[in-house]
A and B are shown apart, each in its own frame.
Chain A
Amino acid sequence: MDTPKNLKYAKTHEWVEFLDDSSARIGLTDYAQKKLGKLVFVNLPLVGDELSLGQPLGDVESVKAVSDVISPLEGNVAEINEALLDAPGLINDDPYGAWLVKADDITNNDDLLSAEEYDAFCESEE
Protein backbone atom coordinates (compact mmCIF):
# COMPACT_ATOMS: atom_id res chain seq x y z
CA MET A 1 0.00 0.00 0.00
CA ASP A 2 1.28 3.46 -0.81
CA THR A 3 1.80 5.83 2.05
CA PRO A 4 -0.69 8.70 1.47
CA LYS A 5 1.17 11.92 0.76
CA ASN A 6 -1.38 14.23 2.32
CA LEU A 7 -0.91 12.79 5.82
CA LYS A 8 1.73 13.29 8.46
CA TYR A 9 3.34 10.45 10.42
CA ALA A 10 4.85 9.64 13.80
CA LYS A 11 7.74 7.27 14.41
CA THR A 12 5.38 5.24 16.57
CA HIS A 13 3.39 4.45 13.41
CA GLU A 14 0.35 6.70 13.81
CA TRP A 15 -0.85 8.92 10.96
CA VAL A 16 -2.31 12.40 11.36
CA GLU A 17 -4.75 14.07 8.96
CA PHE A 18 -5.00 17.77 9.65
CA LEU A 19 -8.50 19.08 9.01
CA ASP A 20 -7.44 22.59 9.83
CA ASP A 21 -4.82 24.25 12.05
CA SER A 22 -6.21 22.99 15.29
CA SER A 23 -8.02 19.76 14.54
CA ALA A 24 -6.98 16.44 13.05
CA ARG A 25 -7.84 12.78 12.76
CA ILE A 26 -5.43 10.11 14.04
CA GLY A 27 -5.09 6.51 12.91
CA LEU A 28 -2.64 3.64 12.55
CA THR A 29 -0.47 3.14 9.48
CA ASP A 30 -0.38 0.18 7.15
CA TYR A 31 3.01 -0.76 8.61
CA ALA A 32 1.45 -0.86 12.07
CA GLN A 33 -1.56 -2.97 11.13
CA LYS A 34 0.68 -5.47 9.33
CA LYS A 35 2.92 -5.81 12.38
CA LEU A 36 0.00 -6.08 14.80
CA GLY A 37 -1.85 -8.73 12.85
CA LYS A 38 -5.59 -9.13 12.88
CA LEU A 39 -7.00 -6.78 15.49
CA VAL A 40 -9.76 -8.02 17.73
CA PHE A 41 -10.44 -5.02 19.94
CA VAL A 42 -9.71 -1.34 20.24
CA ASN A 43 -9.64 0.56 23.54
CA LEU A 44 -10.40 4.17 22.71
CA PRO A 45 -10.19 7.20 25.03
CA LEU A 46 -13.29 9.09 26.09
CA VAL A 47 -14.47 12.26 24.38
CA GLY A 48 -13.01 15.15 26.31
CA ASP A 49 -9.87 13.28 27.36
CA GLU A 50 -6.57 15.09 27.06
CA LEU A 51 -4.07 13.94 24.49
CA SER A 52 -0.43 14.18 25.58
CA LEU A 53 2.35 14.01 23.07
CA GLY A 54 4.19 10.72 23.36
CA GLN A 55 1.69 9.21 25.83
CA PRO A 56 -0.69 6.32 25.12
CA LEU A 57 -4.16 7.48 24.08
CA GLY A 58 -5.54 3.94 23.94
CA ASP A 59 -4.54 0.51 22.80
CA VAL A 60 -5.32 -2.15 20.22
CA GLU A 61 -5.54 -5.86 20.88
CA SER A 62 -4.75 -8.76 18.66
CA VAL A 63 -5.36 -12.31 19.86
CA LYS A 64 -1.99 -12.58 21.53
CA ALA A 65 -0.83 -9.04 22.16
CA VAL A 66 -1.73 -5.54 23.24
CA SER A 67 -0.11 -2.45 21.78
CA ASP A 68 -0.38 1.13 22.91
CA VAL A 69 -1.46 3.77 20.45
CA ILE A 70 0.81 6.74 21.16
CA SER A 71 -0.56 10.25 20.75
CA PRO A 72 1.40 12.12 18.09
CA LEU A 73 0.24 15.52 19.32
CA GLU A 74 -1.19 17.53 22.21
CA GLY A 75 -4.87 18.32 22.26
CA ASN A 76 -8.29 17.04 23.27
CA VAL A 77 -10.39 14.16 22.08
CA ALA A 78 -13.31 15.61 20.15
CA GLU A 79 -14.71 12.41 18.67
CA ILE A 80 -13.98 8.69 18.70
CA ASN A 81 -14.69 6.28 15.86
CA GLU A 82 -17.28 4.06 17.52
CA ALA A 83 -17.52 1.82 14.47
CA LEU A 84 -14.15 0.37 15.46
CA LEU A 85 -15.57 -0.92 18.73
CA ASP A 86 -17.67 -3.43 16.82
CA ALA A 87 -15.37 -3.87 13.84
CA PRO A 88 -11.72 -3.45 14.84
CA GLY A 89 -10.77 -5.30 11.66
CA LEU A 90 -11.49 -2.11 9.72
CA ILE A 91 -8.06 -0.95 10.82
CA ASN A 92 -6.52 -3.96 9.08
CA ASP A 93 -8.67 -3.60 5.97
CA ASP A 94 -8.45 0.16 5.54
CA PRO A 95 -5.78 1.63 7.84
CA TYR A 96 -5.87 5.11 6.36
CA GLY A 97 -9.67 5.27 6.35
CA ALA A 98 -10.24 3.79 9.81
CA TRP A 99 -9.48 6.82 12.03
CA LEU A 100 -9.38 6.20 15.79
CA VAL A 101 -9.90 9.67 17.24
CA LYS A 102 -10.53 13.19 16.08
CA ALA A 103 -8.58 15.75 18.08
CA ASP A 104 -9.13 19.45 18.50
CA ASP A 105 -7.43 22.30 20.41
CA ILE A 106 -4.21 20.97 18.99
CA THR A 107 -0.92 22.43 20.12
CA ASN A 108 2.54 21.01 19.68
CA ASN A 109 2.53 18.84 16.65
CA ASP A 110 6.17 19.19 15.68
CA ASP A 111 8.34 16.28 14.78
CA LEU A 112 5.80 14.72 12.48
CA LEU A 113 7.23 13.10 9.40
CA SER A 114 6.21 13.51 5.78
CA ALA A 115 5.25 10.45 3.80
CA GLU A 116 8.73 10.12 2.31
CA GLU A 117 10.42 10.56 5.66
CA TYR A 118 8.11 7.98 7.17
CA ASP A 119 8.77 5.47 4.40
CA ALA A 120 12.50 5.91 4.90
CA PHE A 121 12.08 5.48 8.62
CA CYS A 122 10.13 2.24 8.14
CA GLU A 123 12.81 0.89 5.84
CA SER A 124 15.43 1.55 8.44
CA GLU A 125 13.39 -0.36 11.02
CA GLU A 126 13.41 -3.54 8.99
Chain B
Amino acid sequence: MGHYLSITDAQKQQMLHAIGLNAPEDLYAAVPAALLHNAALEIPDGMSELETLRTMEALAAKNTVYPTVFRGAGAYRHYIPAIVSAVTAKETFVTAYTPYQAEISQGILQSIYEYQTMICTLTGMDVSNASVYDGASAAAEACAMCRDRKRTKALLSAAAHPDVIEVVRTYCWAANTELQLIPVKDGLTDLDALENMLDDTTACVYLPQPNYFGLIEDAPTAARLAHSAGAKLIMGVNPIAAAVLKTPAECGADIAVGEGQPLGLPLSFGGPYLGFMAATSAMMRKLPGRIVGETTDADGNRAFVLTLQAREQHIRREKASSNICSNQALCAMTAAVYMAAMGPGGLREAAVQCLSKAHYMAARISAVPGFALRYKGEFFHEFVTECPLDREGVLSALSEKGILGGLPLPDGGLLWCATEMNTKAEIDVLEDVLREVCAK
Protein backbone atom coordinates (compact mmCIF):
# COMPACT_ATOMS: atom_id res chain seq x y z
CA MET B 1 0.00 0.00 0.00
CA GLY B 2 2.78 2.38 0.85
CA HIS B 3 4.67 3.72 -2.09
CA TYR B 4 6.76 6.72 -2.93
CA LEU B 5 5.71 7.17 -6.54
CA SER B 6 4.46 10.38 -8.10
CA ILE B 7 3.68 8.99 -11.53
CA THR B 8 -0.09 8.68 -11.86
CA ASP B 9 -1.82 6.03 -13.98
CA ALA B 10 -2.61 8.63 -16.61
CA GLN B 11 1.01 9.73 -16.74
CA LYS B 12 2.10 6.11 -16.91
CA GLN B 13 0.06 5.72 -20.08
CA GLN B 14 1.53 8.89 -21.52
CA MET B 15 5.05 7.74 -20.77
CA LEU B 16 4.48 4.28 -22.22
CA HIS B 17 3.07 5.88 -25.34
CA ALA B 18 6.07 8.18 -25.63
CA ILE B 19 8.38 5.16 -25.45
CA GLY B 20 6.27 3.36 -28.07
CA LEU B 21 4.90 0.67 -25.80
CA ASN B 22 1.33 -0.43 -25.12
CA ALA B 23 1.42 -2.11 -21.76
CA PRO B 24 3.69 -1.92 -18.72
CA GLU B 25 4.68 -5.58 -19.14
CA ASP B 26 6.31 -4.61 -22.45
CA LEU B 27 9.03 -2.93 -20.42
CA TYR B 28 10.29 -6.40 -19.58
CA ALA B 29 10.23 -7.73 -23.12
CA ALA B 30 13.96 -8.46 -22.94
CA VAL B 31 13.44 -10.87 -20.06
CA PRO B 32 12.81 -14.51 -21.03
CA ALA B 33 9.27 -15.44 -20.01
CA ALA B 34 10.54 -18.35 -17.93
CA LEU B 35 12.32 -15.93 -15.60
CA LEU B 36 9.38 -13.67 -14.87
CA HIS B 37 8.17 -14.28 -11.34
CA ASN B 38 4.51 -14.38 -12.15
CA ALA B 39 3.22 -15.19 -8.73
CA ALA B 40 2.80 -12.55 -6.07
CA LEU B 41 5.71 -12.25 -3.69
CA GLU B 42 5.08 -14.23 -0.55
CA ILE B 43 5.51 -11.23 1.66
CA PRO B 44 2.73 -9.35 3.46
CA ASP B 45 0.65 -6.73 1.72
CA GLY B 46 1.95 -3.21 2.00
CA MET B 47 0.97 -0.95 4.89
CA SER B 48 0.18 2.66 5.55
CA GLU B 49 2.78 4.72 7.33
CA LEU B 50 0.89 4.52 10.62
CA GLU B 51 0.69 0.73 10.42
CA THR B 52 4.37 0.48 9.55
CA LEU B 53 5.23 2.68 12.51
CA ARG B 54 3.11 0.57 14.88
CA THR B 55 4.63 -2.66 13.60
CA MET B 56 8.18 -1.40 14.08
CA GLU B 57 7.37 0.18 17.46
CA ALA B 58 6.08 -3.19 18.60
CA LEU B 59 9.40 -4.74 17.63
CA ALA B 60 11.32 -2.04 19.45
CA ALA B 61 9.16 -2.62 22.53
CA LYS B 62 10.34 -6.23 22.67
CA ASN B 63 13.81 -5.02 23.52
CA THR B 64 14.96 -4.01 26.99
CA VAL B 65 16.62 -0.64 27.37
CA TYR B 66 18.72 -0.86 30.52
CA PRO B 67 18.73 2.34 32.57
CA THR B 68 22.14 1.41 33.93
CA VAL B 69 24.83 -0.11 31.73
CA PHE B 70 28.04 -1.58 33.14
CA ARG B 71 28.99 -3.51 30.04
CA GLY B 72 31.41 -2.49 27.27
CA ALA B 73 33.37 -5.13 25.39
CA GLY B 74 33.53 -3.20 22.15
CA ALA B 75 30.37 -1.08 22.41
CA TYR B 76 30.26 1.79 24.89
CA ARG B 77 27.51 4.00 26.23
CA HIS B 78 28.73 7.56 26.35
CA TYR B 79 26.94 10.88 26.64
CA ILE B 80 26.08 12.20 23.20
CA PRO B 81 25.54 15.99 23.16
CA ALA B 82 22.29 17.01 21.48
CA ILE B 83 24.14 18.99 18.81
CA VAL B 84 25.43 15.73 17.33
CA SER B 85 22.09 14.36 16.16
CA ALA B 86 20.88 17.85 15.26
CA VAL B 87 23.69 18.06 12.73
CA THR B 88 23.61 14.49 11.43
CA ALA B 89 19.84 14.65 10.90
CA LYS B 90 20.23 17.49 8.38
CA GLU B 91 18.53 16.20 5.29
CA THR B 92 21.19 17.13 2.81
CA PHE B 93 23.85 15.27 4.74
CA VAL B 94 21.58 12.26 5.18
CA THR B 95 20.50 12.02 1.56
CA ALA B 96 23.68 12.95 -0.30
CA TYR B 97 25.74 10.47 -2.25
CA THR B 98 29.53 10.16 -2.15
CA PRO B 99 31.01 13.55 -3.01
CA TYR B 100 32.41 12.69 -6.45
CA GLN B 101 31.19 16.03 -7.86
CA ALA B 102 33.43 18.21 -5.77
CA GLU B 103 31.98 21.53 -6.95
CA ILE B 104 28.64 20.89 -5.26
CA SER B 105 29.91 18.79 -2.39
CA GLN B 106 32.37 21.09 -0.66
CA GLY B 107 30.33 20.87 2.53
CA ILE B 108 30.65 17.12 2.80
CA LEU B 109 34.25 17.05 1.61
CA GLN B 110 35.25 19.71 4.12
CA SER B 111 33.54 17.81 6.93
CA ILE B 112 35.52 14.69 6.02
CA TYR B 113 38.76 16.72 5.84
CA GLU B 114 38.01 18.07 9.31
CA TYR B 115 37.29 14.52 10.53
CA GLN B 116 40.60 13.31 9.06
CA THR B 117 42.42 16.10 10.84
CA MET B 118 40.76 15.26 14.15
CA ILE B 119 41.67 11.58 13.88
CA CYS B 120 45.25 12.62 13.18
CA THR B 121 45.45 14.75 16.27
CA LEU B 122 43.71 12.11 18.38
CA THR B 123 46.16 9.40 17.34
CA GLY B 124 49.19 11.59 16.68
CA MET B 125 49.53 10.09 13.19
CA ASP B 126 50.23 12.03 9.98
CA VAL B 127 47.35 10.97 7.77
CA SER B 128 43.89 9.47 8.17
CA ASN B 129 41.41 8.08 5.66
CA ALA B 130 37.72 8.98 5.54
CA SER B 131 36.81 5.90 7.64
CA VAL B 132 36.01 2.24 7.02
CA TYR B 133 33.22 -0.01 8.24
CA ASP B 134 34.31 -0.64 11.84
CA GLY B 135 37.29 -1.18 14.11
CA ALA B 136 37.53 -4.88 13.39
CA SER B 137 37.62 -4.56 9.61
CA ALA B 138 39.99 -1.60 10.03
CA ALA B 139 42.37 -3.96 11.84
CA ALA B 140 42.11 -6.43 8.98
CA GLU B 141 42.71 -3.73 6.37
CA ALA B 142 45.71 -2.50 8.37
CA CYS B 143 47.24 -5.97 8.27
CA ALA B 144 46.76 -5.98 4.49
CA MET B 145 48.54 -2.60 4.26
CA CYS B 146 51.65 -4.10 5.84
CA ARG B 147 52.00 -7.05 3.49
CA ASP B 148 54.62 -7.15 0.78
CA ARG B 149 56.07 -9.90 -1.31
CA LYS B 150 58.22 -11.38 1.46
CA ARG B 151 56.29 -10.47 4.57
CA THR B 152 52.71 -11.62 4.84
CA LYS B 153 52.34 -13.01 8.36
CA ALA B 154 50.25 -11.11 10.90
CA LEU B 155 50.81 -11.46 14.64
CA LEU B 156 47.71 -10.51 16.56
CA SER B 157 47.46 -10.19 20.33
CA ALA B 158 45.12 -12.76 21.86
CA ALA B 159 44.11 -9.94 24.20
CA ALA B 160 42.34 -8.20 21.33
CA HIS B 161 38.54 -8.16 21.11
CA PRO B 162 37.32 -11.62 20.05
CA ASP B 163 35.44 -10.11 17.11
CA VAL B 164 38.57 -8.30 15.95
CA ILE B 165 40.46 -11.58 16.09
CA GLU B 166 37.72 -13.37 14.19
CA VAL B 167 37.48 -10.70 11.48
CA VAL B 168 41.25 -10.53 10.98
CA ARG B 169 41.36 -14.32 10.86
CA THR B 170 38.66 -14.31 8.16
CA TYR B 171 40.43 -11.66 6.07
CA CYS B 172 43.79 -13.49 6.39
CA TRP B 173 42.21 -16.78 5.36
CA ALA B 174 40.62 -14.92 2.43
CA ALA B 175 44.02 -13.66 1.29
CA ASN B 176 45.75 -16.99 2.00
CA THR B 177 48.09 -15.37 4.52
CA GLU B 178 49.11 -16.59 7.93
CA LEU B 179 47.83 -15.29 11.24
CA GLN B 180 49.32 -16.17 14.60
CA LEU B 181 47.98 -15.17 18.00
CA ILE B 182 50.39 -13.76 20.54
CA PRO B 183 49.64 -15.39 23.88
CA VAL B 184 48.35 -13.54 26.92
CA LYS B 185 50.06 -13.51 30.31
CA ASP B 186 48.29 -12.03 33.37
CA GLY B 187 45.82 -10.36 31.06
CA LEU B 188 48.49 -8.60 28.99
CA THR B 189 50.06 -9.44 25.64
CA ASP B 190 53.10 -11.60 26.34
CA LEU B 191 55.88 -9.51 24.78
CA ASP B 192 58.54 -12.14 25.50
CA ALA B 193 56.53 -14.61 23.48
CA LEU B 194 56.12 -11.96 20.78
CA GLU B 195 59.88 -11.55 20.53
CA ASN B 196 60.24 -15.24 19.80
CA MET B 197 57.47 -15.24 17.24
CA LEU B 198 58.84 -12.40 15.11
CA ASP B 199 60.81 -13.39 12.04
CA ASP B 200 61.54 -12.10 8.56
CA THR B 201 58.15 -13.23 7.27
CA THR B 202 56.27 -11.08 9.78
CA ALA B 203 54.45 -8.15 8.18
CA CYS B 204 52.82 -6.69 11.26
CA VAL B 205 52.02 -6.89 14.95
CA TYR B 206 48.56 -5.84 16.16
CA LEU B 207 48.27 -4.57 19.72
CA PRO B 208 44.97 -3.44 21.28
CA GLN B 209 45.07 -0.40 23.56
CA PRO B 210 43.49 -0.80 26.05
CA ASN B 211 43.08 -4.52 25.47
CA TYR B 212 39.90 -6.59 25.72
CA PHE B 213 40.32 -6.98 29.47
CA GLY B 214 40.68 -3.22 29.92
CA LEU B 215 44.40 -3.38 30.65
CA ILE B 216 46.92 -0.90 29.25
CA GLU B 217 49.66 -2.50 27.17
CA ASP B 218 53.35 -1.63 26.94
CA ALA B 219 53.10 -0.37 23.39
CA PRO B 220 56.56 1.24 23.04
CA THR B 221 58.21 -2.11 23.76
CA ALA B 222 55.98 -3.86 21.27
CA ALA B 223 56.93 -1.21 18.69
CA ARG B 224 60.62 -1.66 19.38
CA LEU B 225 60.35 -5.44 19.05
CA ALA B 226 58.32 -5.26 15.86
CA HIS B 227 60.64 -2.75 14.22
CA SER B 228 63.80 -4.66 15.14
CA ALA B 229 62.36 -7.60 13.25
CA GLY B 230 61.43 -5.39 10.27
CA ALA B 231 57.73 -5.60 10.96
CA LYS B 232 55.17 -2.81 11.43
CA LEU B 233 53.17 -2.07 14.56
CA ILE B 234 49.42 -1.57 14.30
CA MET B 235 47.68 -0.29 17.41
CA GLY B 236 43.95 -0.70 17.89
CA VAL B 237 42.96 2.18 20.17
CA ASN B 238 39.88 3.24 22.07
CA PRO B 239 39.26 6.83 20.92
CA ILE B 240 38.10 8.10 24.32
CA ALA B 241 41.12 6.57 26.04
CA ALA B 242 43.30 8.21 23.38
CA ALA B 243 42.58 11.57 24.98
CA VAL B 244 44.67 10.61 28.02
CA LEU B 245 46.81 7.66 26.93
CA LYS B 246 50.11 7.91 25.08
CA THR B 247 49.21 8.24 21.44
CA PRO B 248 50.06 5.50 18.95
CA ALA B 249 52.51 7.97 17.40
CA GLU B 250 54.20 8.51 20.77
CA CYS B 251 54.45 4.74 21.12
CA GLY B 252 56.05 4.31 17.71
CA ALA B 253 53.13 2.73 15.88
CA ASP B 254 53.04 2.74 12.09
CA ILE B 255 49.26 2.49 11.86
CA ALA B 256 46.51 3.37 14.33
CA VAL B 257 43.05 1.90 13.91
CA GLY B 258 40.06 1.59 16.18
CA GLU B 259 36.35 1.47 16.73
CA GLY B 260 34.94 5.00 16.56
CA GLN B 261 31.54 4.14 18.05
CA PRO B 262 32.34 5.85 21.37
CA LEU B 263 32.60 9.14 19.47
CA GLY B 264 28.91 10.01 19.43
CA LEU B 265 27.34 6.88 17.93
CA PRO B 266 24.59 5.18 19.94
CA LEU B 267 24.87 1.51 20.87
CA SER B 268 22.47 0.57 18.03
CA PHE B 269 22.69 -3.18 18.63
CA GLY B 270 26.09 -3.20 16.96
CA GLY B 271 25.81 -0.89 13.98
CA PRO B 272 26.31 1.28 12.12
CA TYR B 273 29.69 1.91 13.73
CA LEU B 274 32.91 3.47 12.48
CA GLY B 275 36.39 2.25 11.72
CA PHE B 276 39.12 4.87 11.80
CA MET B 277 42.51 4.32 10.18
CA ALA B 278 45.49 6.62 10.48
CA ALA B 279 49.11 6.08 9.52
CA THR B 280 52.55 7.64 9.21
CA SER B 281 53.14 9.59 6.03
CA ALA B 282 55.38 6.76 4.79
CA MET B 283 52.32 4.53 4.65
CA MET B 284 49.96 7.09 3.17
CA ARG B 285 49.54 5.49 -0.24
CA LYS B 286 48.81 2.13 1.33
CA LEU B 287 45.72 3.40 3.16
CA PRO B 288 42.57 1.88 1.72
CA GLY B 289 39.30 3.66 1.19
CA ARG B 290 38.45 7.24 0.47
CA ILE B 291 40.69 10.16 1.37
CA VAL B 292 39.88 13.84 1.02
CA GLY B 293 42.62 16.25 0.06
CA GLU B 294 42.91 20.00 -0.18
CA THR B 295 43.71 21.80 -3.40
CA THR B 296 42.56 24.91 -5.25
CA ASP B 297 40.32 25.66 -8.20
CA ALA B 298 41.34 27.79 -11.18
CA ASP B 299 40.48 30.98 -9.28
CA GLY B 300 42.65 30.00 -6.35
CA ASN B 301 39.72 29.18 -4.06
CA ARG B 302 40.31 26.52 -1.43
CA ALA B 303 38.83 23.28 -2.78
CA PHE B 304 38.43 19.86 -1.22
CA VAL B 305 38.38 16.77 -3.39
CA LEU B 306 38.49 12.97 -3.14
CA THR B 307 42.09 12.26 -3.92
CA LEU B 308 44.65 9.51 -4.39
CA GLN B 309 41.80 7.67 -6.08
CA ALA B 310 44.17 5.62 -8.16
CA ARG B 311 44.63 3.45 -5.05
CA GLU B 312 40.99 2.50 -5.16
CA GLN B 313 38.99 -0.30 -6.70
CA HIS B 314 37.08 1.73 -9.26
CA ILE B 315 40.37 2.56 -10.93
CA ARG B 316 42.78 -0.19 -9.98
CA ARG B 317 40.19 -2.96 -10.14
CA GLU B 318 42.08 -6.23 -9.62
CA LYS B 319 45.26 -4.37 -8.72
CA ALA B 320 43.61 -2.58 -5.82
CA SER B 321 44.84 -3.58 -2.39
CA SER B 322 41.30 -3.48 -1.04
CA ASN B 323 37.85 -3.66 -2.59
CA ILE B 324 36.48 -1.07 -0.21
CA CYS B 325 34.23 1.39 -1.96
CA SER B 326 32.32 3.39 0.61
CA ASN B 327 33.23 4.82 3.93
CA GLN B 328 30.82 5.39 6.78
CA ALA B 329 30.42 9.07 5.91
CA LEU B 330 27.56 10.02 8.17
CA CYS B 331 29.16 8.12 11.06
CA ALA B 332 32.44 9.93 10.45
CA MET B 333 30.56 13.22 10.50
CA THR B 334 28.93 12.11 13.76
CA ALA B 335 32.36 11.52 15.26
CA ALA B 336 33.63 14.87 13.99
CA VAL B 337 30.71 16.79 15.48
CA TYR B 338 31.15 14.93 18.76
CA MET B 339 34.88 15.64 18.91
CA ALA B 340 34.33 19.30 17.98
CA ALA B 341 31.52 19.69 20.51
CA MET B 342 33.45 18.05 23.32
CA GLY B 343 36.70 19.75 22.36
CA PRO B 344 39.99 18.72 23.90
CA GLY B 345 38.80 19.62 27.37
CA GLY B 346 35.53 17.73 27.09
CA LEU B 347 37.08 14.61 25.60
CA ARG B 348 39.75 14.59 28.27
CA GLU B 349 37.07 15.07 30.93
CA ALA B 350 35.06 12.15 29.54
CA ALA B 351 38.20 9.99 29.58
CA VAL B 352 39.15 11.01 33.11
CA GLN B 353 35.64 10.27 34.35
CA CYS B 354 35.64 6.86 32.63
CA LEU B 355 38.97 6.06 34.25
CA SER B 356 37.96 7.35 37.66
CA LYS B 357 34.53 5.77 37.81
CA ALA B 358 35.89 2.44 36.64
CA HIS B 359 38.46 2.48 39.43
CA TYR B 360 35.85 3.48 41.98
CA MET B 361 33.64 0.65 40.73
CA ALA B 362 36.50 -1.86 40.74
CA ALA B 363 37.17 -1.02 44.38
CA ARG B 364 33.49 -1.32 45.31
CA ILE B 365 32.92 -4.62 43.49
CA SER B 366 36.14 -6.26 44.65
CA ALA B 367 35.20 -5.40 48.22
CA VAL B 368 32.35 -7.89 47.87
CA PRO B 369 33.73 -11.32 48.83
CA GLY B 370 34.41 -13.50 45.82
CA PHE B 371 34.49 -10.66 43.29
CA ALA B 372 38.23 -10.13 43.32
CA LEU B 373 39.91 -8.14 40.58
CA ARG B 374 41.54 -10.72 38.32
CA TYR B 375 44.48 -8.78 36.91
CA LYS B 376 47.00 -6.50 38.56
CA GLY B 377 47.86 -4.32 35.58
CA GLU B 378 46.83 -0.68 35.17
CA PHE B 379 43.46 -0.39 33.44
CA PHE B 380 41.38 2.29 31.73
CA HIS B 381 37.59 1.88 32.01
CA GLU B 382 37.14 -1.90 31.90
CA PHE B 383 38.30 -4.62 34.26
CA VAL B 384 37.71 -8.30 34.97
CA THR B 385 36.53 -9.70 38.29
CA GLU B 386 35.91 -13.22 39.46
CA CYS B 387 32.38 -14.27 40.30
CA PRO B 388 31.69 -16.55 43.27
CA LEU B 389 28.18 -17.52 42.17
CA ASP B 390 26.40 -18.70 39.07
CA ARG B 391 26.84 -15.73 36.75
CA GLU B 392 23.43 -15.98 35.14
CA GLY B 393 21.88 -15.71 38.57
CA VAL B 394 23.93 -12.64 39.43
CA LEU B 395 23.19 -10.96 36.12
CA SER B 396 19.45 -11.71 36.45
CA ALA B 397 19.37 -10.12 39.87
CA LEU B 398 21.06 -7.04 38.42
CA SER B 399 18.70 -7.05 35.46
CA GLU B 400 15.71 -6.91 37.78
CA LYS B 401 17.12 -3.65 39.09
CA GLY B 402 17.54 -2.34 35.53
CA ILE B 403 21.28 -2.96 35.52
CA LEU B 404 23.18 -4.56 32.63
CA GLY B 405 26.06 -6.16 34.50
CA GLY B 406 29.53 -7.18 33.36
CA LEU B 407 29.93 -9.49 30.37
CA PRO B 408 30.41 -13.13 31.34
CA LEU B 409 33.74 -14.30 29.91
CA PRO B 410 34.27 -17.87 28.68
CA ASP B 411 36.58 -18.69 31.57
CA GLY B 412 34.29 -17.71 34.41
CA GLY B 413 35.02 -14.01 34.98
CA LEU B 414 32.94 -10.89 34.42
CA LEU B 415 34.15 -8.00 32.24
CA TRP B 416 32.85 -4.73 33.72
CA CYS B 417 32.85 -1.25 32.24
CA ALA B 418 32.17 2.22 33.60
CA THR B 419 31.83 5.40 31.61
CA GLU B 420 31.07 9.03 32.42
CA MET B 421 27.39 8.02 32.15
CA ASN B 422 27.54 6.01 35.35
CA THR B 423 26.96 7.89 38.59
CA LYS B 424 28.49 7.16 41.98
CA ALA B 425 24.99 6.36 43.20
CA GLU B 426 24.50 3.73 40.49
CA ILE B 427 27.81 2.14 41.37
CA ASP B 428 26.93 2.11 45.07
CA VAL B 429 23.61 0.41 44.21
CA LEU B 430 25.56 -2.16 42.19
CA GLU B 431 27.64 -3.04 45.21
CA ASP B 432 24.53 -3.33 47.36
CA VAL B 433 22.82 -5.64 44.90
CA LEU B 434 25.90 -7.85 44.62
CA ARG B 435 26.07 -8.12 48.39
CA GLU B 436 22.36 -8.94 48.50
CA VAL B 437 22.77 -11.71 45.92
CA CYS B 438 25.71 -13.18 47.84
CA ALA B 439 23.78 -13.12 51.07
CA LYS B 440 21.01 -15.32 49.62
Contact = CB atoms under 8 A, between A and B. Distances in A.
A105 B316 CA distance: 31
Interface magnitude class on chain A: under 10
Contact of A64 (B285, B315, B319): B315
Contacts of A59: 319
A101 B20 CA distance: 60
A40 B285 CA distance: 12
A62 interface: yes
A118 interface: no
Interface string B308-321: 11100001100100
Nearest to B305: A63
Nearest to A60: B310
A17 interface: no
B293 to A, nearest CB: 11
Interface in A51-101: 59, 61-66
Interface in A16-64: 40-41, 59, 61-64
Contact of B319 (A40, A63, A66): A66
Interface string B86-121: 000000000000000000000000000000000000
A44 to B, nearest CB: 13
Contacts of A62: 310
A41 B285 contact: yes
Interface magnitude class on chain B: under 10
Contacts of A65: 310, 315
Contacts of B315: 64-66
Contacts of B319: 59, 66
Interface in B287-328: 308-310, 315-316, 319
Task: Give the dominant DSSP class at A's interface.
Answer: strand
A64 B319 CA distance: 14
Contacts of A41: 285, 308, 310
Nearest to B285: A41
Interface in B272-293: 285
A41 B285 CA distance: 10
Contacts of B309: 63-64
A63 B316 CA distance: 11
A61 B311 CA distance: 9
A5 to B, nearest CB: 34
Contacts of B285: 41
A58 B315 CA distance: 16
With most chain A CB atoms within 10 A of its CB, the pick from B285, B310, B315 is: B310
A65 B316 CA distance: 7
A65 B310 CA distance: 6
Nearest to A61: B310
B102 to A, nearest CB: 12
A125 to B, nearest CB: 23
Contacts of A66: 310, 315-316, 319
Nearest to B316: A66
A63 B285 CA distance: 14
A66 B312 CA distance: 10
A16 to B, nearest CB: 24
A62 B315 CA distance: 10
B147 to A, nearest CB: 15
Contacts of B308: 41
Interface in B307-353: 308-310, 315-316, 319
Contacts of A40: 310
Contacts of A63: 309-310
A2 B427 CA distance: 82
14 contacts: A40-B310, A41-B285, A41-B308, A59-B319, A61-B310, A64-B309, A64-B310, A64-B315, A65-B310, A65-B315, A66-B310, A66-B315, A66-B316, A66-B319
Given A63-B309, A63-B310, A65-B310, 14 more contacts: A40-B310, A41-B285, A41-B308, A41-B310, A59-B319, A61-B310, A62-B310, A64-B310, A64-B315, A65-B315, A66-B310, A66-B315, A66-B316, A66-B319
Pairs of residues from A and B, 7 with the lowest C-beta to C-beta distance, nearest first: A61-B310, A66-B310, A66-B316, A66-B315, A65-B315, A64-B315, A41-B310
